[in-house]
Amino acid sequence: MSQDLMIALTKGRVLVDELAILAKAGVEPLEDPTASRRLVFDTNQDRVKIMILRGMDVATYVDHGIADVGMSGKDVLLEYPGTGYYEPLDLGLGRCALMVAGLVDESELPSRLRIATKFTNTAKRYYAERGVQVDIIKLYGAMELAPVTGLAHRIVDIVETGNTLKANGLRSIELITQITTRLIVNTSSYKTKFDQVRKLIDSLEAVL
Ligand code: PRP
């Protein structure tokens, strides 16, 4: 007997693309999540539901098995410490880059830099791997302001078009990694709901 399959999607710019790819794979919500305040939706498929979460929370819900499957940016997955999920597919959506950026007219910098970011784990790893000592400052948004105001020397942030950097007198300095949206699957769900999960992975793979 089939059980409920919960799919977690990311609220925000990438949601429309996630819904489109899911629709091509045969799963469509009965109500449009982009025009509703609801957070959980029934779909055209019996026993398949969709929940809409903040990007940072998709990995948490899938890691804990509340959602069986999720679509999450690689930036969040790199930051997330849990290991309770597989990452079977690169969905190719939400293409952007995780970059180190700084002021265009960067004056002489001290040997130990202050780095502002919301991706603190990834930033720590990046500098540690290079043997560079830095101080990490955690911010939750508007990272670009940090070098402008002197809070930090550089930032680690997502760059898509580069417009936000440019508008604030900043430039990309180093590429940390390219980012896309990944399909993730809870490791237990992959076993206990194998047929349903596999069917979804195969359908998504076929439309990519
Ligand atoms: C991201 C990032 C930059 C901006 C880059 O923020 O933090 O501010 O997008 O995009 P661009 O290169 O096309 O200008 P987002 O809008 O996702 O909001 P957030 O601050 O909540 O992450």
What does the pLDDT look like over 71-123, one tens digit per residue? 999 999 999 999 999 999 999 999 999 999 999 999 889 999 999 999 999 99
Residue 50: strand, helix, or coil: strand
Question: What confidence score (pLDDT) does residue 1 get?
Answer: 55
- Cβ of residue 167 lying under 6 Å from some atom of ligand 1: no
Task: DSSP letter for 43, please.
Answer: B
> What is the model's pLDDT at position 176?
98
Query: Does residue 111 have its Cβ closer than 6 Å to ligand 1?
Result: no
Is the shortest distance between the CB of 11 and ligand 1 below 6 Å? no
Q: Is the CB of 164 under 6 A from ligand 1?
A: yes
Which atom of ligand 1 lies nearest, measured to the CA of 13? 17
The CATH superfamily assigned to 5-94+180-207 is Periplasmic binding protein-like II (3.40.190.10)
Q: Which residues have C-beta within 8 Å of that of residue 188, sequence separation ≥ 6?
A: 65, 84
The pLDDT assigned to 108 comes to 86
* Domain boundaries of the chain, sorted by first residue: 5-94+180-207, 96-177
How confident is the model at residue 3, as a pLDDT?
Answer: 84
Tell me, yes or no, if the two domains 5-94+180-207 and 96-177 fold the same way: yes
Tens-digit pLDDT profile for residues 20-78 = 999 999 999 999 999 999 999 999 999 999 999 999 999 999 999 999 999 999 999 99
Ligand 1 nearest atom to the CA of residue 144, by list position: 8
**In the chain, which residue ranges form alpha helices assigned H by DSSP?**
15-24, 55-63, 74-79, 120-129, 145-149, 163-167, 187-192, 194-207
Q: Is 53 exposed, middle or buried (0-12, 13-18, 19+ CB in 10 A)?
A: buried
**Is the CB of 162 inside a 6 Å radius of any atom of ligand 1?**
yes
Q: What is the mean pLDDT of residues 132-139?
A: 98
pTM of the model: 0.93
Question: What is the distance in A from the centroid of ligand 1 to the CA of 160?
Answer: 7
Report the pLDDT averaged over residues 127-135: 97
| CATH topology classification for 96-177 | D-Maltodextrin-Binding Protein; domain 2 (3.40.190)
Q: Which residue owns the Cα nearest ligand 1 atom 19?
A: 141
